[in-house]
């Protein structure tokens, strides 16, 4: 499958991931059970919208409901929610502690990415972040070099990253 199509075929949509996290969050104080109204309030959407998404999540075995219309994550749903939360934290830590992205922006960007990256990439990113933020002198030196660098482009306009074109310029701002 072409990569861009994988975005749509992703295991969890952005909306589904947020529903799982909302159920997890609301249910935390009620033995895992959450009311649709509380999920709707947390996500700032209508109860009708929540109910439609819950149908899809239930069909996939990610949530369970009872006769009082209460909702709970299934074991699979619990794992999926925890995986999303873990990836969000990994990405956020990488962005803020390695790249130096300001925390509010790191929060926003990690929220956008959390459900899109694979478990394998998440795990590798965690390892990489752990290495770079460890006390290892080489890692510390690399991190210090990165933070002191201003990303100046080479005079001949060519570098290993850009390969003949200036990606920094294409981002719409100078690094």
Partner 1 sequence: MNGVRADVISDLNRLMAEETEAFLRYFQMRFRLRGRGRRRAEKFFENALKETLEHAEALARQIQSLGHVPTLHVDLVLSGEPISAEEALAEAIDVEQQALDAYQEFLTRVTGDPVLEDFARKQVVIEAAHVQDIREALRQDPVFALVEKPTAGS
> Given the rule CB under 8 A, which residues bind partner 1?
36-37, 44-52, 54-55, 69
Assigned token pair, 158: 């060519």
Q: In terms of Cα–Cα distance, which of 61, 70, 114, 115 is closest to 89?
A: 114
Q: How far is the CB of 10 from partner 1 (least distance, A)?
A: 15
Q: How far is the CB of 61 from partner 1 (least distance, A)?
A: 17
- Report the residue number, 44 or 170, with the smaller CB distance to partner 1: 44
Residue pair 94/125 in contact (Cβ under 8 Å)? The answer is yes
Q: How far is the CB of 46 from partner 1 (least distance, A)?
A: 5
- Report the residue number, 26 or 91, with the smaller CB distance to partner 1: 26
Residue pair 47/36 in contact (Cβ under 8 Å)? The answer is yes
Please name the residue that has the structure tokens 């290495």. 131
Q: How far is the CB of 14 from partner 1 (least distance, A)?
A: 11
- Report the residue number, 8 or 160, with the smaller CB distance to partner 1: 8
- Report the residue number, 11 or 97, with the smaller CB distance to partner 1: 11
Give the 3-state secondary structure of residue 161: coil
- Measure the CA–CA gap between 33 and 103, rounded to whole angstroms: 31
């Amino acid at each position: 499958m072409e990569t861009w199509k994988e975005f749509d075929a992703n295991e969890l949509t952005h909306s589904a991931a947020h529903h799982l996290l909302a159920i997890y969050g609301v249910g935390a104080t009620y033995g895992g059970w959450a009311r649709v109204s509380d999920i709707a309030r947390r996500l700032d959407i209508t109860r009708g919208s929540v109910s439609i998404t819950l149908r899809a999540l239930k069909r996939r075995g990610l949530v369970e409901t009872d006769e009082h219309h209460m909702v709970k994550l299934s074991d699979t749903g619990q794992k999926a929610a925890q995986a999303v939360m873990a990836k969000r934290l990994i990405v956020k830590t990488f962005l803020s502690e390695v790249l130096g992205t300001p925390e509010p922006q790191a929060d926003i960007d990690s929220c956008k990415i959390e459900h899109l990256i694979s478990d394998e990439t998440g795990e590798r990113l965690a390892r990489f972040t752990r290495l770079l933020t460890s006390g290892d002198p080489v890692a510390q030196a690399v991190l210090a070099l990165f933070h002191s660098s201003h990303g100046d482009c080479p005079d001949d306009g060519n570098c290993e990253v850009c390969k003949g074109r200036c990606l920094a310029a294409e981002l719409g701002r100078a690094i």
